[in-house]
Structure 1
Amino acid sequence: MEPHSRNIESEDTIAALATASGVGAIAVIRISGKDAIPVTQKIFKGKDLATAASHTIHFGTIRDGDKILDEVVVSLFKGPNSFTREDVIEISCHGSEYIVKQLLQLLIRNGVRLAKPGEFTKRAFLNGRFDLAQAEAIADLIYSETEAAHQAAMNQMRGGFSLEIKKLREQLINFASLIELELDFSEEDVEFADRSQLKSLIYEIKRVIDHLISSFDVGNVIKNGVPTVIAGKPNAGKSTLLNVLLNEERAIVSEIPGTTRDFIEDEMVLEGIRFRFIDTAGLRDSSDKIESIGIERTKQKMKQASLIIYLFDVNSTSEKELKENLLELKSYNIPLVVVGNKIDKDKSNIIEFRNFDGIIFISAAMKVGIEELKNNLVEMVNFANFKTGNVIVTNVRHYESLIKSRDALKAALEALDDGISGELLAQDIRSSLIYLGEITGEITTDDLLGNIFSKFCIGK
């Protein structure tokens, strides 16, 4: 990538703790900028870093005047062959908070300033190390907590998503340039861009964008987890099931119906997918005002969920009642897992529900059927496209830009159908290009960059 325009602040030499704060065996302080090597050399007694080869490590001491602050290992990365494409030093010192504080203060007294959140990655982007979508993937990689989130971030960081956007823009730019050329010869009424070819191209690009947009449902789940509501009548065993799934006493278990009047939420990872389980108030008619509020909120939670586990007691639920309840739940159009609980009390009751397909029978109290339920939950989440390596959109900013780009292409298609002037057509295509360019950073503003990199941790 070509370097982006820089400001005065970008010329500073910056430093920050790159490892987690707190006491540890080792702490790493990262320094980047034109003065990274000379400033470090002033406080480092060991190898002459100015003459040392790049990508080498050197043992020595950090000194504040005659006072030895610590024994350290200095890693040297000379630009442009570094993460930021500037000269970079990483000082590995002992993980004492006192040592880290003293070392940073020593660097500041020698003309270095503390880095802002994400400033190292921002410099890497500004220096053309990678595009904006790849930079954002670095933050996703740092915060990834599951296999699926890790794979999605790695794919984006290695340029999978950026390559898709680049191909779309290149195809549009070719036709956009021809239409712009037509505008220069507007008085001569000539057409350089074949309208039928342009229409076919826009349809194809729109198809790809539609696919990327639809992948956000999966991408959002990968990044934020699957919100899974556990619903059912009071005393169906919802809280017991939650405790069994999480393998801890997270929810209150009581024989008194209506004990859970609000929401209990916790997470677990199944086969690389994070599920956010929400235990809710029991569904029933109630004269208790507080419980009634909880039941209404339960219904709202179910409508917002990505997955619903409907739990019923096989001993106290009739076939007719289950049929009525499932009819309402299916009207939400949300994937539904139906679970019959308490088979340890009377397994023969299962026969009553033989006309229902796909019911999983368990005993939450005895931990029977739990593994089958877990496997079913994983199957219910459609990660087929993701697992084949297809590009998945996980970033809401990218999602919004894709929607705006698609809307501009829709307007361009309408312009073509209506025979509208090339000037308005060109404007729609320009808009689509701008929104695609915002994803990769080919079109940027200081406000956009400030908002993105402010969400990074300091030291990255």
Structure 2
Amino acid sequence: MLSDDTIIALATPSGAGAIAVIRISGKESIALSAKHFRSVSGKNLAKQKSHTIHLGHIVDGKRVLDEVLVSLFKGPHSYTGEDVIEISCHGSPYIQQEIIQLFIRKGCRMAQAGEFTLWAFLNGKMDLSQAEAVADLISSENEASHQVAIQQMRGGFSDEIKRLREELLNFASLIELELDFSEEDIEFADRDQFKALLSRIQLVLKRLIDSFAVGNVIKNGIPVAIVGEPNVGKSTLLNALLNEDRALVSEIPGTTRDTVEDEISIGGIGFRFIDTAGIRQTQDVVEGMGIQRTFEKIDTAQVILYLIESVKFSGQGTSFKLEIEKLKSKYPQTPLVVVANKMDLLDAEGVSQIKNEIEDALLLSAKKGTGVEALKSKLLEFVNTGALRNNETLVTNSRHYNALLKALEEVEKVQWGMENGISGDLLAIDIRQALYHFGEITGEISSDDLLGNIFANFCIGK
């Protein structure tokens, strides 16, 4: 799949900026750059050592395009494993395009999305799971997702998979060898050791599979639906959580007619808050559509914040509790937090009544910001942050998750076969399948279609 092309792309975001970085990789990258780079000290770029930086000008004939810094990396000791040149130029979009077009005219071609990282994978600089972690690192928006991506890019997850695959492969080789001596009835693989290995592999696979629930939340953020009757302060709470006027607030019930979403980081974890239309009976068609969308958003939420107006609790407590039970019944797997808003308007007796009648209710004043930090702490309780603190391996990629499930299924078949005296040739089939699914994760087994789908999601220039 590797070609002899020399590829080029902008490695920094497009648009104007202080500087821009243009990356070139391939066999001709140094030679082409040397033809169009004039060092201020008169050096020949093609004769310089790897991992050096040089000041000079990019020229097109006698025309000077820009004063630049050129970083030189010689393969295989580079990101892609090929020769790499990185040109740091001024951030004018005009300058960026002039330099890129110059090198395209001289024989480079524009890199496709993720092609630099694809070359790094094909040249053995990283395995497939590490390459995917590069994309996750670029898109990380909070401390937790950044931490997980860094760990995976350094090989924490793939190293664990490779160790399991290597141990299973060693036993598979012995099982396969036994097939060549089937007439002599010789056993090369110690069955007790093999059973112990299968049990250990199952434990590791189950732990990794279970970690996906936490890992996926950390990677994609936790959707939190803010629901309740009109005018209970849902939009005010959203603004208080975000610390900005994101949602329109008024005294008129039904002001929010569509969902409003925004994300913040709490304790390094991303939470995506969804302010929904107030739930009530209405003849207004537009408001009714907003309420319908509210229930659609609740379906996708992983936490529900149900707001009640605390000053109305003494008169409507029964209806509030009935609504809470309805939500719990309809969404039994989704944590529900009851939030009694406008506590600044409540007397001591009212506070006591709510606490006595609704277990674990949080009292706050979204308008004054009182109790908002306590709510944030409550939300963090729904995330297993201990896995992060202990630097445990977390699975965040659905492709890896599916491969692990299939590998576990095959390993369980092998174990069942061992316990029921299945012949070695049938055991070997299931072992090969388990090894196949391990290899899918790290890229030891891959297809052009798979690689195309993965790297198409990368940004150009990476």
Identity %: 58
1:104 corresponding residue in structure 2 = 100
Q: Please state if 1:324 is matched with 2:326.
A: no
Q: How much does 1:290 deviate? A: 5.8
RMSD: 2.0
1:3 corresponding residue in structure 2 = none
2:382 corresponding residue in structure 1 = 380
2:366 corresponding residue in structure 1 = 364
Distance in 2, Cα, partners of 1:80 & 1:163: 22
1:337 corresponding residue in structure 2 = 337
Q: How much does 1:452 deviate? A: 1.0
CA pair 181-343 structure 1, distance change in 2 beyond 3 A: same
CA pair 103-345 structure 1, distance change in 2 beyond 3 A: same
1:25 corresponding residue in structure 2 = 18
Distance in 2, Cα, partners of 1:295 & 1:418: 57
- Normalised by the length of structure 2, the TM-score is 0.92
Distance in 1, Cα, partners of 2:286 & 2:63: 66
Deviations 1:268-298 (A, max 9, x none): 1112111101122333455666655654543
Report if aligned partners of 2:265, 2:271 keep a CA contact under 8 Å in 1. yes
Distance in 2, Cα, partners of 1:190 & 1:259: 79
CA pair 426-287 structure 1, distance change in 2 beyond 3 A: farther
Which moved further from structure 2: 231-240 or 315-324? 315-324
Q: Please state if 1:62 is matched with 2:58.
A: yes
Deviations 1:173-195 (A, max 9, x none): 12211221222233444433344
Q: Please state if 1:39 is matched with 2:32.
A: yes
Distance in 2, Cα, partners of 1:175 & 1:395: 29
Distance in 1, Cα, partners of 2:262 & 2:233: 17
Report if aligned partners of 1:315, 1:346 keep a CA contact under 8 Å in 2. yes
Q: 2:298 aligns with which of 291, 299, 302?
A: 302
Report if aligned partners of 1:362, 1:370 keep a CA contact under 8 Å in 2. yes
1:4 corresponding residue in structure 2 = none
Which moved further from structure 2: 241-250 or 293-302? 293-302
Report if aligned partners of 1:405, 1:435 keep a CA contact under 8 Å in 2. yes
Q: SS state of the match for residue 310, structure 1?
A: strand
Alignment of 1:174-193 (within 5 A): 174-193=170-189
Q: How much does 1:445 deviate? A: 1.1
1:49 corresponding residue in structure 2 = 45
Q: How much does 1:440 deviate? A: 0.9
Q: How much does 1:422 deviate? A: 2.2
Q: SS state of the match for residue 266, structure 1?
A: strand
Distance in 2, Cα, partners of 1:10 & 1:276: 42
Q: How much does 1:303 deviate? A: 3.8
Distance in 2, Cα, partners of 1:134 & 1:167: 16
Report if aligned partners of 2:355, 2:361 keep a CA contact under 8 Å in 1. no
Which moved further from structure 2: 394-403 or 175-184? 175-184
1:405 corresponding residue in structure 2 = 407
CA pair 84-281 structure 1, distance change in 2 beyond 3 A: same
Report if aligned partners of 1:303, 1:334 keep a CA contact under 8 Å in 2. no
- Normalised by the length of structure 1, the TM-score is 0.93
Q: 2:234 aligns with which of 234, 238, 244?
A: 238
Q: SS state of the match for residue 443, structure 1?
A: coil
Q: SS state of the match for residue 47, structure 2?
A: coil
Q: SS state of the match for residue 380, structure 1?
A: coil
Q: Which amino acid aligns with 2:70?
A: V
Alignment of 1:231-310 (within 5 A): 231-285=227-281, 291=287, 294-310=290-306
Q: SS state of the match for residue 11, structure 1?
A: coil
Q: SS state of the match for residue 344, structure 1?
A: helix
Deviations 1:130-166 (A, max 9, x none): 1111111111111111111111111011111111111
Deviations 1:301-343 (A, max 9, x none): 3343211112111122344334333333334222222211111
CA pair 289-184 structure 1, distance change in 2 beyond 3 A: farther
Q: How much does 1:412 deviate? A: 2.1
Q: How much does 1:215 deviate? A: 0.9
1:158 corresponding residue in structure 2 = 154
Distance in 2, Cα, partners of 1:188 & 1:281: 76
Which moved further from structure 2: 91-100 or 213-222? 91-100
Report if aligned partners of 1:70, 1:94 keep a CA contact under 8 Å in 2. yes
Distance in 2, Cα, partners of 1:296 & 1:436: 44
Q: Which amino acid aligns with 2:18?
A: A
Report if aligned partners of 1:319, 1:352 keep a CA contact under 8 Å in 2. no
1:353 corresponding residue in structure 2 = 354
Q: SS state of the match for residue 45, structure 1?
A: strand
Q: SS state of the match for residue 92, structure 1?
A: strand
Distance in 1, Cα, partners of 2:283 & 2:95: 63
Deviations 1:43-94 (A, max 9, x none): 1122212221111111222221122222222111112221112111111122
Q: 2:78 aligns with which of 79, 82, 94?
A: 82
Report if aligned partners of 2:115, 2:455 keep a CA contact under 8 Å in 1. yes
Q: SS state of the match for residue 177, structure 1?
A: helix
CA pair 284-197 structure 1, distance change in 2 beyond 3 A: farther
Deviations 1:91-110 (A, max 9, x none): 11222222221211211222
Q: SS state of the match for residue 59, structure 1?
A: strand
Q: Which amino acid aligns with 1:414?
A: W
1:167 corresponding residue in structure 2 = 163
Distance in 2, Cα, partners of 1:177 & 1:285: 68
Q: SS state of the match for residue 344, structure 2?
A: coil
Which moved further from structure 2: 406-415 or 194-203? 194-203
Q: How much does 1:32 deviate? A: 1.1
Distance in 1, Cα, partners of 2:378 & 2:93: 47
Is there any run of 5+ residues in structure 1 with no aligned partner, and where?
A: 1-6
Report if aligned partners of 2:259, 2:293 keep a CA contact under 8 Å in 1. no
Q: SS state of the match for residue 311, structure 2?
A: coil
Is there any run of 5+ residues in structure 2 with no aligned partner, and where?
A: none
Q: Please state if 1:12 is matched with 2:13.
A: no
Q: SS state of the match for residue 50, structure 1?
A: helix
Distance in 1, Cα, partners of 2:416 & 2:253: 59
Which moved further from structure 2: 379-388 or 427-436? 379-388
Q: Please state if 1:129 is matched with 2:125.
A: yes
Q: How much does 1:224 deviate? A: 0.9
1:225 corresponding residue in structure 2 = 221
CA pair 354-98 structure 1, distance change in 2 beyond 3 A: closer
